[in-house]
Structure 1
Amino acid sequence: MDIAPGLDWPHLFATRAERMKASEIRELLKLLDQPDVISFAGGIPDPALFPAQAFGAALTSALSGDSKGAALQYSVSEGYRPLRDWLVTRMASLGVPCTADNILITSGSQQALDYLGKLFLTKGDTALVGWPTYLGALQAFNAYEPYYDRLTPLGNRSAADYRETARANGGQVKFAYASADFANPTGETLPAPARERILDLATELDIAVIEDAAYQSLRYEGDEVPPLLALDIARSGSINTTRTIYCGSFSKTLAPGLRVGWVCAAEPVISKLVLMKQAADLHSATLNQMAIHTVASDGFEAQVAKIRETYRGRRDAMLSALRTYMPEGVSWTKPDGGMFIWVTLPEHMDGAALLAESLKAERVAFVPGKAFFADGSGANTLRLSFSCANETMIDEGIKRLGRVIRGGKTPA
């Protein structure tokens, strides 16, 4: 029997589909299933630290008695009200007074980034991002076909320069995106002056600020720096007169698999995002929100203290190993928290080629840094995650990686 040729799908796809690329990180996560590989690739929490017993009890409770109907039923798009009320208290502790009307529950903060890209970006508009920046943010924004310009908070670029560059590329500057605390991928934290400068620039350009706070709770040393949203409220007097949109997540503190995040912002922004939520998936899973609320209410601070202690030890082990085993010409960041250390190789080396050699010769995985640059630069960089490897594995893995780098078999 003759088989008709398949439909030519690509010619039907929207132009935005051309900018949808596979995540190098998601592909590298498959290496975690290979027991002989020491992986510093996945920026994911250690599952051994999940409060699984507490979630088991919370889910059982949610599915018992009078609550079981609500747990399994459709719900409001804004999110489970008790969880939103808990988040109001949490945000207040960060210097962000707000009400439940300023909170939207999302399916992880990644969904929030997608919604915000959809809300603000018309094809050709400019998004200001770090160089490097979070790959997931680039993937979320790419679908809306923006132009990326480099956000340099402490640089000397003027608002007029950004505005003219955006106009030359066919659009307007719409927002600045920043991961202010222990950023993915660099692990770096924006100091207070840099945060103030972002707000100054946003005011001059009359744009939004998207604050990605996924790692905000994971501080191991140093003084807390107020969130951008807190600084914005201090300037404007009220959350409803701010331009900063705070994206939070329970993925790095409680559990990523339940996919619960939130947006905290002025009511006009939340109202628009609620409409987008209604059109996309109606609401985040109520059962998951109820479980998160119970576990957070009963022991959020204790859980955060536990993971901080563990990750601090792993960060210290990786920094020590880097000092011991890395050859001259290699440098790295020294983060105060989070899950990542950013490594810069000599100019002649290529991170992707190094990964291939490292897997072949030493069975060590990491993420090449090029993926985190909107313009495809940064070939001589890489990201190391210490969250899922114990101190012994970290020492051995960095020793092996040092051997590969010393071998110099990775020309650009």
Structure 2
Amino acid sequence: MSEAQDESNWDNRYATRSSRMQASEIRELLKLLDQPDIISFAGGIPDPHLFAAEDMRNAYSDVLSKNANAALQYSTSEGYEPLRHWLTDYMSKIGVKCTPDNIMIVSGSQQALDYCGKLFLSPNDTALVTRPAYLGALQAFNAYEAHYDFISPESGNRTPQSYKDEAAKAGGRPKFAYLTPDFANPTGDTISREARMKLLALADELDIVVLEDSAYQGLRYSGEHVPPIISLDLERNGGDIEKIRTLYSGSFSKTVTPGLRLGWICGPKEVIRKLVLIKQAADLHTPTINQMVMYQVVSNIFDKQVDKIRKAYHHRRDQMLAALEKYMPASASWTKPEGGMFIWLTVKEGLDSKELLAKSLETERVAFVPGKAFFADGSGANTMRLSYSLASDEEIDQGIMRLARLIKSYE
């Protein structure tokens, strides 16, 4: 059989970019949740017991009984207009004056990252990211053959020229800075107002976009509110959203439910129009019925729902912080997030958290996400992400005790 006839020879047929597409360690670890004896701090997913299931059920029934033709039909690529109007009110409450034309509904904020990668990145262009950064964003940008350079919002960035020079060496130019400024995945850290302003100044110097991933912004449990980057960008541009360089990506996945796959992008109309063209080519539009149901649910219970989730996760965060303080050796350190779903644990240099995970699953039956996957440069071997969103008080105490016992065995 010739090579052309060899159906197993797929590697020679793929686009070159496919070599950068790798399985998510987090997605693989989620399979462990089916093993009942595993205490998992791995999947940073919402607790399904907190979903507004009855409200969802009623909304689907109501939408299908009153407006089935529209709910089951094709719709506009921009998104369901009543939901976009609701989102303009929501954005206004967080300091962003905009219109429905500044908003596009996407199939989860992950799709927003993919679309932004497609819109802005040519092969070998540079994406500026934090170290560590959200793994899903790195996967999305990898598909467009991005080169990475690093920003350090709190400790200080390099000179604009140095970023330009490094990007030129890679064969492209800087295109955007991506970050999760509130309760970041994976670290749980929040970027200060001062650091956000410095980032905008750097973006001005480089003439790049700022991609603000705000999936966790609604989940603050303590500390002082910090304005979104997009609202700070608006302030310095006289409140004119058409003059800003920030694109805001929001999501209902963490505040309401992830299963409907609903998020949004907010930004200048010119950019939204381009993103709409990408969506038309990709999937035409986000499912109409899901948008109609979400609109009905958030119109009725959004504030109540978010309050319920905050109280539950606030308690679990406090439980995990207390357990870490109680059991971990002095050689370990961890973040103390003001919200979100994650704590970032750093163990002594020389320990590899991927190897530690294999040993933990074998002996202690505790799962976590090795930190190296969140570093575009492959560093961070001695770090790990712990999620408290799904664990009970007993699981948190037992799991951290077991994990600490394992870490101490390497002291």
TM-score bin (small chain)? over 0.9
Gaps of 5+ in 2: none
Structure 2 Cα separation of the partners of residues 79 and 223 of structure 1:
33
Which deviations, in whole Å up to 9, do the C-alpha atoms of 1:300-353 show, x marking residues without a partner?
010000000000000000000000000110000000000000000100211001
Structure 1 segment 7-406 matched on structure 2, within 5 A? 7-65=8-66, 67-154=67-154, 155-237=156-238, 238-406=240-408
For residue 64 of structure 1, give the secondary structure of its aligned residue in structure 2: helix
* Same amino acid, percent of matched pairs: 61
Which deviations, in whole Å up to 9, do the C-alpha atoms of 1:149-172 show, x marking residues without a partner?
001224141111111111111100
Letter in 1 for 2:148: Y
Contact map agreement 2:353 2:371 (CA 8 A) in 1: yes
Report the alpha carbon displacement of residue 382 of structure 1 after superposing the two structures with TM: 0.2
Structure 2 Cα separation of the partners of residues 244 and 156 of structure 1:
18
TM-score by length of structure 2 reads 0.98
For residue 63 of structure 1, give the secondary structure of its aligned residue in structure 2: helix
Once superposed, what is the RMSD of the aligned Cα atoms? Answer: 0.8
For residue 177 of structure 2, give the secondary structure of its aligned residue in structure 1: strand
Letter in 2 for 1:25: I
Contact map agreement 2:210 2:246 (CA 8 A) in 1: yes
Gaps of 5+ in 1: none
Structure 1 Cα separation of the partners of residues 267 and 392 of structure 2:
38
Aligned pair count reads 405
Structure 2 Cα separation of the partners of residues 71 and 6 of structure 1:
42
Letter in 2 for 1:375: D
Q: 1:262 to 1:156 in 2, by over 3 A?
A: closer
Report the alpha carbon displacement of residue 390 of structure 1 after superposing the two structures with TM: 1.1
For residue 58 of structure 2, give the secondary structure of its aligned residue in structure 1: helix
For residue 45 of structure 2, give the secondary structure of its aligned residue in structure 1: coil
TM-score by length of structure 1 reads 0.97
Structure 2 Cα separation of the partners of residues 16 and 116 of structure 1:
17
Report the alpha carbon displacement of residue 5 of structure 1 after superposing the two structures with TM: 4.2
Report the alpha carbon displacement of residue 264 of structure 1 after superposing the two structures with TM: 0.3
Letter in 1 for 2:345: V
For residue 347 of structure 1, give the secondary structure of its aligned residue in structure 2: coil
For residue 97 of structure 1, give the secondary structure of its aligned residue in structure 2: coil
Which deviations, in whole Å up to 9, do the C-alpha atoms of 1:30-54 show, x marking residues without a partner?
0000000000000000000000000
Structure 2 Cα separation of the partners of residues 8 and 201 of structure 1:
46
Letter in 2 for 1:263: I
Structure 2 Cα separation of the partners of residues 397 and 334 of structure 1:
18
Which runs of 4 or more aligned residues in structure 1 lie more than 4 Å from their structure 2 counterparts after TM superposition? none
Which deviations, in whole Å up to 9, do the C-alpha atoms of 1:370-412 show, x marking residues without a partner?
0000011000000000000011110010000011101118xxx
Letter in 2 for 1:161: S
Letter in 2 for 1:135: L
Letter in 1 for 2:40: S
Structure 1 Cα separation of the partners of residues 284 and 345 of structure 2:
41
Structure 2 Cα separation of the partners of residues 379 and 157 of structure 1:
24
Report the alpha carbon displacement of residue 229 of structure 1 after superposing the two structures with TM: 0.3
Report the alpha carbon displacement of residue 6 of structure 1 after superposing the two structures with TM: 2.2
Letter in 1 for 2:243: T
Q: 1:184 to 1:156 in 2, by over 3 A?
A: closer
Contact map agreement 2:151 2:157 (CA 8 A) in 1: no
